[in-house]
Structure formats: C-alpha cells, structure tokens
C-alpha cells in the first residue's frame, strides 16, 4: 500500500512530539463509532481475554469499595468490566477524546462509572485519591510517556496498583515475522476499509513500533516512582501486562 501525505502525518504523530496529542485526539474521535468492532475483529477477539487478565492484576478485591481510574478509557470496555465484577467500586473513565466516551455510554448504564473528558497529562483528580489505576492500549498514545506515568503515580494512594496493558512485539523469530507482516500490511487495509479513516490504522502499528519494549517500559515505571514493577507477555508476546505499586 503506497504511502500518502496522510500516512506521513500518522507516522510523524506515532514518533511523538507536539503533533501526537492533537492527532490522537482528533483521530480517535473520528473512529469512535467503529472502534469496538475493529478492536475485536482485528485481534480475533483475543483482546477480551487480555483485558480480563489486566483487570485481575489490578486486584480490586483488596479494596472493593475504592475508586479506580481507567485511564485512556476509550469506549469504556475496561470500566464496564471492572464495575460488572465489582459493583461496589467506583470507576472514573478518563479520556480526552469525548466521542469515544459517548460511544461507550450504553455499556455503563446502571454501573458506578463516571466518564470524564480529561487529558492523561493533566488529570482533574486529587493526589493520592485513587485505590488503583489501569490503562488498556492507551499509554502509547500519551504524548509524554514519562509525564503520564508520573501523573498516574500522583493520583494513586500509597499502596495503589497501576496496571498497563499494551501491544508488544513477539521475540520468537517466526512469530515475530508473521505478526509484523499482519500488523503492517494486512491490518491497515482492513482498518481503513471498515473504519473509512485514512490513517488511524497506519498510526496503530507505527505507534507500537515506536513504543518502548517491555523492559524499557518497566524501567520507565520505576523512574516514575513505582516499586515492585514486573511484566508478563501474553499470546506469544503480542501484548504485555505491566504492574507496579505506589
């Protein structure tokens, strides 16, 4: 698939810098109506199991009446899943692409979930007030990773857990080559055809390629102040869950 000027914009945004925040907010607002369909289709529905694993690592049962942050909450899948399993917990689903939150409103009817349109770098949340925090497939979209990790650390109460679920790159050569071919050649075509968006699914694989590998992300979490940081790869390394404690 030949590159276009639109693809070039997506690649610049994926590399980071001042363009990233504007591009991500605009693009995810535009693809909100088809976002869930494409998530499940393009991951062959494995993303649901990945989310369940990440939520289990949050260990909400330790403080079932606490307030939890679902960062870069998108269409509120994770918020709804946590609330469905722990109805006494309160969830704040924060995302700066408000159309994404609106697209997920039906999932949280009757749940203790509060959608909040907010930037991950400037959360309207008191320091040390969250019992835990989770971000699923969103931390790589934050314009400044280190600042984003520090902001999550700020809002967590002492002992609060932070869980990151994010795409990774498999290390086994045969798996890696097949994954990269699908991710960079097949996925963008399907995503463009179904979403109707010119660049969103060019941005996705590029943003993963520019995101720190598992060990580097764990190191960044440690620099931000988290302790007992560890990670676990999922589905042959296609995704990874990172955990840390304030």
Tell me which residue range forms the domain holding 234: 5-245
Query: Cα–Cα–Cα angle for 24, 244, 117, nearest 5°?
Result: 30
Q: What is the pTM of this model?
A: 0.93
Q: What rounded mean pLDDT belongs to the chain?
A: 92
Question: How many folded domains does the chain comprise?
Answer: 1
pLDDT tens digit sequence for 190-233: 888 888 888 888 888 888 888 999 999 999 999 999 999 999 99
CATH number at residue 55: 3.40.50.150
Non-local (6+) Cβ contacts of 226 within 8 A are 149, 153, 162, 244, 245, 246
The reported pLDDT for the residue numbered 2 is: 45
pLDDT tens digit sequence for 30-40: 998 888 887 87
Work out the end-to-end distance of the chain between its first and last CA atoms, rounded to an integer number of angstroms. 45
pLDDT tens digit sequence for 127-142: 999 999 999 999 999 9
Mean per-residue pLDDT, 98-126 = 97
pLDDT tens digit sequence for 134-170: 999 999 999 999 999 999 999 999 999 999 999 998 9
Pick from 199, 166, 230: nearest CA to 26? 199
């Amino acid at each position: 698939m030949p590159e276009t000027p639109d693809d070039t914009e997506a690649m610049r945004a994926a590399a980071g810098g001042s363009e990233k925040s504007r591009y991500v907010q605009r693009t995810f607002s535009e693809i909100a109506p088809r976002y869930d369909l494409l998530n499940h289709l393009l991951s062959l529905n494995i993303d649901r199991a990945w989310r369940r694993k990440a939520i289990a690592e949050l260990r909400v049962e330790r403080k079932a009446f606490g307030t939890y942050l679902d960062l870069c909450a998108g269409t509120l899948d994770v918020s709804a899943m946590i609330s469905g399993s722990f109805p006494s917990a309160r969830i704040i689903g924060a995302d700066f692409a408000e159309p994404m939150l609106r697209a997920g409103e039906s999932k949280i009817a009757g749940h203790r979930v509060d959608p909040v349109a907010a930037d991950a770098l400037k959360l309207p949340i008191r320091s040390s007030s969250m019992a835990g925090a989770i971000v699923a497939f969103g931390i790589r979209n934050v314009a400044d990773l280190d600042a984003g990790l520090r902001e999550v650390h700020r809002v967590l109460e002492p002992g609060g857990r932070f869980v990151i679920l994010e795409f990774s790159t498999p290390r086994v050569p045969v798996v890696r080559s097949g994954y990269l071919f699908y991710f960079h050649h097949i996925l963008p075509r399907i995503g463009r055809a179904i979403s109707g968006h010119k660049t969103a699914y060019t941005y996705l694989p590029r943003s993963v390629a520019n995101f720190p590998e598992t060990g580097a992300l764990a190191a960044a979490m440690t620099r931000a102040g988290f302790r007992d940081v560890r990670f676990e790869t999922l589905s042959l390394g296609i995704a990874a869950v990172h955990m840390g404690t304030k």
